[in-house]
Amino acid sequence: MSSKNTAIGIDVGGTGIKGGLVDLDSGELVSDRVKLPTPEGGKPDDIVQTTKKIVDQLAAEDPDAPVGVCFPAIVSHGVTLSAANVSKKWIDLHAEDLFEKALGRDIHFVNDADAAGYAESRFGAAKDKSGLVIMTTLGTGIGSALIYDGVLIPNAELGHLEIDGADAESKAAYSAKEREDLSWEKWAKRLQKYYSTLEFLFTPDLFIVGGGVSKNYKDFLPLLDLKTEIVPAVHRNNAGILGAAALAVRGDR
Protein backbone atom coordinates (compact mmCIF):
# COMPACT_ATOMS: atom_id res chain seq x y z
CA MET A 1 0.00 0.00 0.00
CA SER A 2 1.35 3.43 -0.92
CA SER A 3 1.67 5.48 2.23
CA LYS A 4 1.40 8.78 0.37
CA ASN A 5 -2.36 8.27 0.04
CA THR A 6 -2.97 6.98 3.56
CA ALA A 7 -2.68 8.41 7.04
CA ILE A 8 -3.51 7.33 10.57
CA GLY A 9 -6.24 9.25 12.36
CA ILE A 10 -6.70 9.12 16.13
CA ASP A 11 -9.79 10.51 17.90
CA VAL A 12 -9.34 10.98 21.66
CA GLY A 13 -12.62 11.20 23.54
CA GLY A 14 -13.75 11.23 27.14
CA THR A 15 -14.85 7.57 27.10
CA GLY A 16 -12.91 6.02 24.23
CA ILE A 17 -9.85 6.51 22.03
CA LYS A 18 -10.31 5.25 18.49
CA GLY A 19 -8.19 5.17 15.38
CA GLY A 20 -7.91 3.89 11.86
CA LEU A 21 -5.85 3.93 8.70
CA VAL A 22 -7.56 6.21 6.17
CA ASP A 23 -7.44 6.25 2.38
CA LEU A 24 -7.14 9.99 1.72
CA ASP A 25 -8.49 9.70 -1.83
CA SER A 26 -11.78 8.08 -0.86
CA GLY A 27 -12.14 8.95 2.83
CA GLU A 28 -12.63 5.27 3.64
CA LEU A 29 -11.02 3.30 6.45
CA VAL A 30 -8.61 0.74 5.03
CA SER A 31 -8.03 -0.92 8.40
CA ASP A 32 -10.24 -2.10 11.19
CA ARG A 33 -11.34 0.69 13.49
CA VAL A 34 -9.36 0.21 16.71
CA LYS A 35 -10.94 1.43 19.93
CA LEU A 36 -9.71 1.31 23.52
CA PRO A 37 -11.34 2.78 26.63
CA THR A 38 -10.05 6.17 27.74
CA PRO A 39 -8.11 5.53 30.97
CA GLU A 40 -10.04 6.52 34.09
CA GLY A 41 -9.25 10.07 35.11
CA GLY A 42 -8.08 11.00 31.61
CA LYS A 43 -4.56 11.93 32.73
CA PRO A 44 -2.03 12.96 30.07
CA ASP A 45 0.48 10.12 30.38
CA ASP A 46 -2.27 7.48 30.52
CA ILE A 47 -4.03 8.81 27.42
CA VAL A 48 -0.75 9.13 25.53
CA GLN A 49 0.22 5.51 26.31
CA THR A 50 -3.19 4.22 25.21
CA THR A 51 -2.88 6.26 22.00
CA LYS A 52 0.56 4.74 21.41
CA LYS A 53 -0.92 1.22 21.54
CA ILE A 54 -3.40 2.14 18.82
CA VAL A 55 -0.85 3.93 16.63
CA ASP A 56 1.63 1.05 16.93
CA GLN A 57 -1.06 -1.43 15.85
CA LEU A 58 -2.08 0.67 12.84
CA ALA A 59 1.49 1.58 11.88
CA ALA A 60 2.25 -2.14 11.52
CA GLU A 61 0.05 -1.98 8.37
CA ASP A 62 1.71 1.17 7.01
CA PRO A 63 4.87 2.20 8.90
CA ASP A 64 5.32 5.46 6.94
CA ALA A 65 1.77 6.75 7.33
CA PRO A 66 1.54 10.28 8.81
CA VAL A 67 -0.41 10.57 12.07
CA GLY A 68 -3.09 13.07 13.05
CA VAL A 69 -4.60 13.23 16.54
CA CYS A 70 -7.77 15.11 17.46
CA PHE A 71 -8.56 16.00 21.04
CA PRO A 72 -11.44 17.54 23.06
CA ALA A 73 -9.71 20.85 23.81
CA ILE A 74 -8.84 24.22 22.36
CA VAL A 75 -5.49 23.58 20.65
CA SER A 76 -3.14 26.46 19.90
CA HIS A 77 0.34 25.74 18.52
CA GLY A 78 0.27 22.27 20.06
CA VAL A 79 -0.81 23.47 23.51
CA THR A 80 -4.15 22.35 24.99
CA LEU A 81 -5.81 25.40 26.52
CA SER A 82 -8.91 23.64 27.85
CA ALA A 83 -10.07 20.13 28.77
CA ALA A 84 -13.49 18.57 28.13
CA ASN A 85 -14.22 15.21 29.81
CA VAL A 86 -10.52 14.61 30.52
CA SER A 87 -8.17 15.58 33.36
CA LYS A 88 -7.66 19.29 34.06
CA LYS A 89 -3.92 18.50 33.86
CA TRP A 90 -4.26 18.96 30.11
CA ILE A 91 -4.87 22.70 30.51
CA ASP A 92 -1.85 24.70 29.30
CA LEU A 93 0.03 21.48 28.50
CA HIS A 94 2.41 21.16 25.54
CA ALA A 95 0.36 18.17 24.47
CA GLU A 96 1.59 17.84 20.90
CA ASP A 97 5.18 17.53 22.17
CA LEU A 98 4.06 14.92 24.70
CA PHE A 99 2.43 12.79 22.01
CA GLU A 100 5.35 13.18 19.60
CA LYS A 101 7.90 12.14 22.21
CA ALA A 102 5.91 9.02 23.18
CA LEU A 103 5.10 8.04 19.59
CA GLY A 104 8.59 8.78 18.29
CA ARG A 105 7.21 10.67 15.30
CA ASP A 106 5.76 14.00 14.22
CA ILE A 107 1.98 14.34 14.40
CA HIS A 108 -0.66 16.89 13.50
CA PHE A 109 -2.65 17.80 16.61
CA VAL A 110 -6.08 19.41 16.35
CA ASN A 111 -9.36 20.07 18.18
CA ASP A 112 -11.92 17.26 17.74
CA ALA A 113 -14.73 19.43 16.34
CA ASP A 114 -12.28 20.97 13.87
CA ALA A 115 -11.27 17.49 12.72
CA ALA A 116 -14.91 16.46 12.27
CA GLY A 117 -15.66 19.61 10.29
CA TYR A 118 -12.63 19.11 8.08
CA ALA A 119 -13.72 15.51 7.42
CA GLU A 120 -17.08 16.79 6.19
CA SER A 121 -15.39 19.32 3.91
CA ARG A 122 -13.05 16.72 2.40
CA PHE A 123 -15.22 13.62 2.29
CA GLY A 124 -18.76 14.45 3.40
CA ALA A 125 -21.60 16.95 3.32
CA ALA A 126 -19.40 19.90 2.29
CA LYS A 127 -17.23 18.13 -0.30
CA ASP A 128 -16.38 20.54 -3.11
CA LYS A 129 -18.42 23.30 -1.41
CA SER A 130 -16.91 26.77 -1.73
CA GLY A 131 -17.41 29.68 0.65
CA LEU A 132 -17.98 29.47 4.38
CA VAL A 133 -19.17 26.21 5.93
CA ILE A 134 -20.08 26.04 9.61
CA MET A 135 -20.21 22.61 11.21
CA THR A 136 -21.89 22.26 14.60
CA THR A 137 -22.02 19.11 16.71
CA LEU A 138 -25.02 18.89 19.02
CA GLY A 139 -24.12 16.71 21.99
CA THR A 140 -23.18 17.31 25.62
CA GLY A 141 -22.23 20.79 24.42
CA ILE A 142 -22.04 22.37 20.99
CA GLY A 143 -18.81 21.88 19.12
CA SER A 144 -18.11 23.90 16.00
CA ALA A 145 -15.79 24.22 13.04
CA LEU A 146 -15.36 26.91 10.39
CA ILE A 147 -14.12 25.92 6.93
CA TYR A 148 -13.62 28.54 4.23
CA ASP A 149 -12.93 27.34 0.68
CA GLY A 150 -11.70 24.05 2.12
CA VAL A 151 -9.35 25.65 4.66
CA LEU A 152 -9.94 25.07 8.37
CA ILE A 153 -10.12 28.15 10.59
CA PRO A 154 -9.31 26.52 13.96
CA ASN A 155 -10.75 26.82 17.45
CA ALA A 156 -14.13 28.41 16.81
CA GLU A 157 -16.02 27.97 20.09
CA LEU A 158 -19.47 28.89 18.81
CA GLY A 159 -21.24 26.85 21.47
CA HIS A 160 -20.22 29.57 23.93
CA LEU A 161 -21.91 32.42 22.12
CA GLU A 162 -24.07 34.25 24.63
CA ILE A 163 -27.73 34.25 23.64
CA ASP A 164 -30.38 35.67 25.98
CA GLY A 165 -27.81 35.88 28.78
CA ALA A 166 -26.69 32.26 28.66
CA ASP A 167 -24.14 30.10 26.87
CA ALA A 168 -25.93 28.88 23.76
CA GLU A 169 -24.94 25.28 24.44
CA SER A 170 -26.57 25.32 27.88
CA LYS A 171 -29.92 25.81 26.14
CA ALA A 172 -29.53 24.34 22.68
CA ALA A 173 -27.19 21.33 23.01
CA TYR A 174 -28.77 17.91 22.73
CA SER A 175 -28.04 17.39 26.43
CA ALA A 176 -30.44 20.29 27.19
CA LYS A 177 -33.20 18.54 25.23
CA GLU A 178 -32.64 15.37 27.25
CA ARG A 179 -32.20 17.12 30.59
CA GLU A 180 -35.39 19.13 30.23
CA ASP A 181 -37.27 16.42 28.34
CA LEU A 182 -38.07 18.84 25.51
CA SER A 183 -40.15 17.84 22.50
CA TRP A 184 -38.50 18.12 19.09
CA GLU A 185 -40.63 21.22 18.47
CA LYS A 186 -39.58 22.99 21.67
CA TRP A 187 -35.94 22.11 21.14
CA ALA A 188 -36.15 23.30 17.54
CA LYS A 189 -37.27 26.73 18.74
CA ARG A 190 -34.01 27.00 20.68
CA LEU A 191 -32.03 25.75 17.70
CA GLN A 192 -33.81 28.33 15.55
CA LYS A 193 -32.57 31.14 17.78
CA TYR A 194 -29.06 29.69 17.80
CA TYR A 195 -28.72 29.16 14.05
CA SER A 196 -30.39 32.49 13.26
CA THR A 197 -27.73 34.16 15.41
CA LEU A 198 -24.93 32.31 13.58
CA GLU A 199 -26.52 33.22 10.27
CA PHE A 200 -26.62 36.91 11.18
CA LEU A 201 -23.02 36.95 12.45
CA PHE A 202 -21.35 34.92 9.70
CA THR A 203 -23.62 34.71 6.60
CA PRO A 204 -22.45 31.14 5.91
CA ASP A 205 -23.02 29.22 2.70
CA LEU A 206 -23.82 25.95 4.47
CA PHE A 207 -24.58 24.62 7.95
CA ILE A 208 -23.73 21.01 8.78
CA VAL A 209 -25.22 19.40 11.90
CA GLY A 210 -23.29 16.56 13.51
CA GLY A 211 -23.35 14.69 16.81
CA GLY A 212 -25.27 11.52 17.56
CA VAL A 213 -28.64 13.28 17.31
CA SER A 214 -27.96 14.09 13.65
CA LYS A 215 -29.18 10.61 12.76
CA ASN A 216 -32.63 11.91 13.79
CA TYR A 217 -32.28 15.01 11.60
CA LYS A 218 -35.72 14.50 10.02
CA ASP A 219 -37.28 15.18 13.43
CA PHE A 220 -35.86 18.67 13.83
CA LEU A 221 -34.06 20.14 10.80
CA PRO A 222 -37.31 20.59 8.80
CA LEU A 223 -38.67 22.68 11.72
CA LEU A 224 -35.97 25.34 11.21
CA ASP A 225 -36.56 28.40 9.02
CA LEU A 226 -33.20 29.67 7.77
CA LYS A 227 -31.89 31.34 4.63
CA THR A 228 -28.83 29.08 4.77
CA GLU A 229 -29.00 25.45 3.67
CA ILE A 230 -28.67 23.14 6.69
CA VAL A 231 -27.84 19.45 6.28
CA PRO A 232 -26.88 16.50 8.51
CA ALA A 233 -23.28 15.33 8.74
CA VAL A 234 -22.33 12.29 6.69
CA HIS A 235 -19.52 10.96 8.89
CA ARG A 236 -20.60 10.68 12.51
CA ASN A 237 -18.60 8.03 14.38
CA ASN A 238 -15.55 8.20 12.13
CA ALA A 239 -15.45 11.96 11.46
CA GLY A 240 -12.66 12.68 13.95
CA ILE A 241 -10.52 9.85 12.60
CA LEU A 242 -10.99 10.95 8.98
CA GLY A 243 -10.38 14.63 9.69
CA ALA A 244 -7.30 14.06 11.84
CA ALA A 245 -5.82 11.79 9.17
CA ALA A 246 -6.52 14.27 6.36
CA LEU A 247 -5.03 17.16 8.34
CA ALA A 248 -1.89 15.10 9.02
CA VAL A 249 -1.12 15.39 5.33
CA ARG A 250 -2.70 18.74 4.53
CA GLY A 251 -1.07 20.33 7.57
CA ASP A 252 -3.56 23.19 8.06
CA ARG A 253 -2.79 24.92 11.34
The model's pLDDT over 66-120, given as tens digits with 9 standing for 90+, comes to: 999 999 999 999 999 999 889 999 999 999 999 999 999 999 999 999 999 999 9
- Same domain? For 133 and 193 the reply is yes
The model's pLDDT over 43-67, given as tens digits with 9 standing for 90+, comes to: 999 999 999 999 999 999 999 999 9
Give the 3-state secondary structure percentages of the chain, helix then strand then coil, rounded to 5: 40, 25, 35
Nearest to 101 by CA among 36, 52, 56: 52
The model's pLDDT over 161-207, given as tens digits with 9 standing for 90+, comes to: 999 999 999 999 999 999 999 999 999 999 999 999 999 999 999 99
Please check whether residue 122 lies inside any domain of the structure. Answer: no
- Same domain? For 77 and 111 the reply is yes
Please check whether residue 121 lies inside any domain of the structure. Answer: no
CATH number of 191's domain: 3.30.420.40
CA distances from 20 to 54, 68, 71, 223 (A): 8, 10, 15, 36
- Same domain? For 108 and 134 the reply is no
CA distances from 124 to 41, 80, 144, 210, 236 (A): 33, 27, 16, 11, 10
Q: Measured between alpha carbons, how far is 154 from 111 in angstroms, rounded to an integer?
A: 8
**Model-level pTM?**
0.92
